[in-house]
Amino acid sequence: MSKDLTSIRLIVTFFPQLSNLLREEWLDGRISTEMDMSHCIYYHLRRRMPDRFTILSNVTLSGITISKQSASGSFLMPDLIIIDNDRNESIRILFELKLDNHSSAFPEHIHAPIDADFRKLKKFAANPVLGKHLVCGFFVYLYKCSKWSEREITAKIMEKLDHPKLKAIAVNRYQDKNGKYFDDLERRDTDRMLRNRNRFKVGG
């Protein structure tokens, strides 16, 4: 495959396509955890990017906190970052990832971990050092819900993020790439197929 994502702008514009690739991977059973999601994003970006860019996971950003207390000695860890080796390894894009195992989207249930990720992203975007180089921060949300559409959830997330450098990708396991909902039988079959894909019994 050609290395066609040769600029940060092209990487950012690739994300609508990435959302459908994540949908395919999820429905094929290749995504069961947030770590699986991280691996899939890494795979689809790395094979399309030249060596100018490096993707790293769970890096430490020191001197930053989501609390109002002193940031001395504190740190936050984005799930993924993309650095530009031609610009002194500056962080250009970062990600927070959330795979929601509830049977409804986050407006319908307690979502403290998701809110924490929103606050982290806003802290990253507002940081005076990081903000000089950061082009975009993504919140990638995989969920399953027959009530809240991807368009509605994306709008809800953007309200929460409320920053021009932050974007949302929402992928609903119960919608196809054209936005059409699965019927009841398709939803049940999908849930049955993907249930407990990250647990295997090998003993008594």
For the chain, 204 residues long, give each residue's pLDDT as a single digit of tens: 678 999 999 999 999 899 999 999 999 989 989 999 999 999 999 999 999 999 999 899 988 887 766 556 688 999 999 999 998 889 999 999 999 989 899 999 888 889 999 999 999 999 999 989 999 999 999 999 999 999 999 999 999 999 999 999 999 999 999 999 999 999 898 888 887 666 777 887
Look up residue 192 and give its amino acid: R
Please provide the DSSP assignment of 45-70 as one string. HHTTS-TTEEEEES--EES--SSSS-
- This prediction has a pTM of 0.91
CATH no. for 8-194: 3.40.1350
Instruction: Quote the CA–CA distance of 143 and 125 in Å, as a whole number.
Output: 25
Domain ranges of the chain: 8-194
